[in-house]
Structure 1
Amino acid sequence: MCPADTPLNPKNLSLLWASPDRAEEIAALHAQLFDPAWDASSITESIEHPASASFIAQVRDPRSLAGFIIGRIAADEAEILSIGVAPEWQRRGVGRQMVEGLVRAARRAEVKRLFLEVATDNTAAVALYKSLGFKKAGTRNGYYQRAGSEKADAVILALGL
């Protein structure tokens, strides 16, 4: 395996449509990354929704779930509901490839704008989204509940497609 700061070779990563049979695996990763976490039934409900545009990122060697992105398309807008990258694959281009995959799917669906919310203190994610062209569209004060700490603000970001 490559050192953690080495970009992942895109040929070693597959973006696959998320399916209910992977919900337990996605939920386990979600629980590693978020508190409160979504359970497998919430993941299944989200990816089975008729407007879902959700993917998993799977590394070929060693074969493992590197990440997930759960999105939803409604008319000419789309939203990233949740995105996560396994700790061992963070900062290696997986998140970027998942967002770019969702952008391609949204464009095919003739979406005009893609939205997401991210904690203002998640500087790595904010930097990624801004590097992809997302712009600030608003703020949600106290949006994220965190166990054992104060609520965190969210910045709403939008990308024109």
Structure 2
Amino acid sequence: MTDMATTATPLDPRNLSLLWASPERAEEIAALHGRLFSPGWNAESVAASIEDPTSASFIAQLRDPMQIVGFVIGRIAADEAEIISIGVAPEWQRRGIAKRMLEGLARAARRSEVKRLFLEVAVDNEAALELYTGLGFVCVGGRKAYYERAGKPNVDAAILALDL
């Protein structure tokens, strides 16, 4: 098995756009979500999340070939924001796409005078934990047996926060 972290071709930042997510892209986002998570969200759930007045959601789109390779769905309420879901296509992981999406969401949150950004992550997701802590997120709590895994024991979630 090959280690993606060592074999991934660097991404040319000029070939990636961070765009506001729109309901018209819900099918594509749902398809990617379904590749990454079980159960995946359907297009209606994605569209409802994006259309929510508190939504702050982005897609990462390649220019050549034109395709969505990542998404982040967030919510802003008063002076707090939370990441509801984030994902990058497996073949595009570990190339800085998630970091760019998180930085974009943090910028949008700051413009809305948000003071803190929250997210939950499975405690066994080492790559995500490394990314989040590298960006300055700190653990502020947890949820026991939060993530269900088909045919496996549930996994705890760590609640992380980033002061903006």
- TM-score normalised to structure 2 length: 0.94
Alignment partners' CA distance in 1, 2:114 and 2:12: 29
Q: Which runs of 4+ in 1 moved over 2 A?
A: none
- 1:16 maps to which residue? 19
The residue aligned with 1:74 is 77
Q: What is the aligned partner in structure 2 of residue 145 from structure 1?
A: 148
Aligned-residue identity in percent: 69
Unaligned runs of 5+ in 2: 1-5
Per-residue CA distance 1:104-150 (angstroms, 9 max, x = gap): 00000000000000000110000000000000011111000111111
Match of 2:47 among 36, 44, 47: 44
The residue matched to 2:40 in structure 1 has which SS? coil
Give the match for residue 114 of structure 1. Answer: 117
CA distance in 1, matches of 2:62, 2:91: 11
| Whole-angstrom distance in 1 between the partners of 2:55 and 2:101 | 14
**Aligned equivalent of 2:136:** 133
Tell me if structure 2 keeps the 8 A contact 1:77–1:112.
yes
Query: 2:57 is matched with which residue: 54, 57, 60?
Result: 54
Q: Let me know the Cα RMSD of the aligned residues.
A: 1.0
Q: What is aligned with 1:96?
A: 99
Q: Aligned partners of 1:148, 1:33: CA distance in 2, in Å?
A: 17
* Structure-1 separation of matches of 2:56 and 2:42: 19
Between the aligned partners of 1:98 and 1:7, the Cα distance in structure 2 is 17
The Cα offsets for residues 63-102 of structure 1, whole Å up to 9 and x where unpaired, read as 1111000000000000000000001110000000000000
- Measure how far apart 1:7 and its partner are: 2.8
- C-alpha distance 4-54 of structure 1, shift in aligned 2 (>3 A): farther
TM-score scaled to structure 1, two decimals? 0.96
Amino acid at match of 1:127: E
Q: 1:23-69 deviations in whole A, cap 9, x for unaligned? A: 01100000000011111111011000000000000011121111000
Q: Following the alignment from structure 2 to structure 1, what is the Cα–Cα distance between the partners of residues 19 and 159?
A: 27
**Structure 1: any 5+ residue segments left out of the alignment?**
none
